[in-house]
Copies of this chain bind each other. A is one copy, B any other.
Amino acid sequence: MVRNTARREELAALATDYVLDHGLIGLSLRPLAAAIGTSDRMLLYHFAGKDDLVATVLRISNDRSVEAVRALPRSQSVRTAVLDLWRASTSDESDHCHRVYVEAAALGLLGREPYVSVVREANERWVEALADHLVAAGCTRERAGRAVALLDAAFMGLQLDLPLDPHESHRKRVVSDLADAIAAFAGG
């Protein structure tokens, strides 16, 4: 029996914080439970199982990163929009959200549930938020829709590869180049 209680939501929020810090791959219930002041027994009381907990955590994490994008002030141009979005995506909290998203996507690469479904849903809402921001920055809805597919892919790829790159300056140039390329493509 699993219901939506205040305690469940509280545990879900705490678990999300923990996962954002420690990563999703290799997550196990006992260390998580200990860290947030409960027991594995309790997690399995409030959630139907590990998958249920993970799906809940992923949704909360996604909510936070989408919220961070929606809270951004309007950008002056498509180019600055890309830079603003990247800055927002790599600020402390959102950065961890995207890291977890990437882990979930990797876990879903072979079709394993619940990862595939949750990641698909998360991606839809994330892409939507990106597109809205581009439109607000002045490009048409149609161009934004197509540009965002590229932007999203590039962001995820950078999230995956940039941690390998020790050169801060190189990273900055890549993001700047990306902004140029997207601006040219979106026509803004």
Pick from B119, B156, B185: contact of A156, CB under 8 Å = B156
* A96 to B111 alpha-carbon distance, docked (Å): 14
Closest to A176 in B: B146
Chain A interface secondary structure, helix, strand, loop or mixed?
A: helix
Question: Does A35 belong to the interface (CB within 8 Å)?
Answer: no
Question: Contacts A157-B154, A185-B184; is A146 near B173 (CB within 8 Å)?
Answer: yes
- The residues of B that contact A185 with a CB separation of less than 8 Å are 177, 180-181, 184
Question: Contacts A153-B158, A177-B146; is A23 near B109 (CB within 8 Å)?
Answer: yes
Question: Does A25 belong to the interface (CB within 8 Å)?
Answer: yes
Q: In the assembled complex, how far is the CB of residue A127 from the closest CB belonging to chain B, in whole angstroms? A: 9
* A164 to B155 alpha-carbon distance, docked (Å): 17
In A1-38, the 8 Å CB interface with B consists of 22-23, 25
- The residues of B that contact A136 with a CB separation of less than 8 Å are none
- The residues of B that contact A155 with a CB separation of less than 8 Å are 153, 157
* A156 to B161 alpha-carbon distance, docked (Å): 9
Cβ A149 vs Cβ B164 within 8 A: no
Copies of this protein, total: 2
Task: Fill in one digit per residue for A54-85: 1 if any B CB lies within 8 Å of its CB, else 0.
Answer: 00000000000000000000000000000000
Ranked 7 nearest A-B pairs via Cβ: A153-B157, A106-B106, A156-B157, A157-B157, A181-B185, A120-B164, A149-B174
A-side residues, CB < 8 A to B, are 22-23, 25, 99, 102-103, 105-111, 116, 119-120, 123, 146-147, 149-150, 152-158, 160-161, 163-164, 173-174, 177-178, 180-182, 184-185
Q: Besides A102-B106, A105-B160, 10 other CB < 8 A contacts?
A: A25-B25, A103-B109, A105-B164, A146-B177, A150-B177, A150-B178, A150-B181, A152-B161, A160-B160, A180-B185
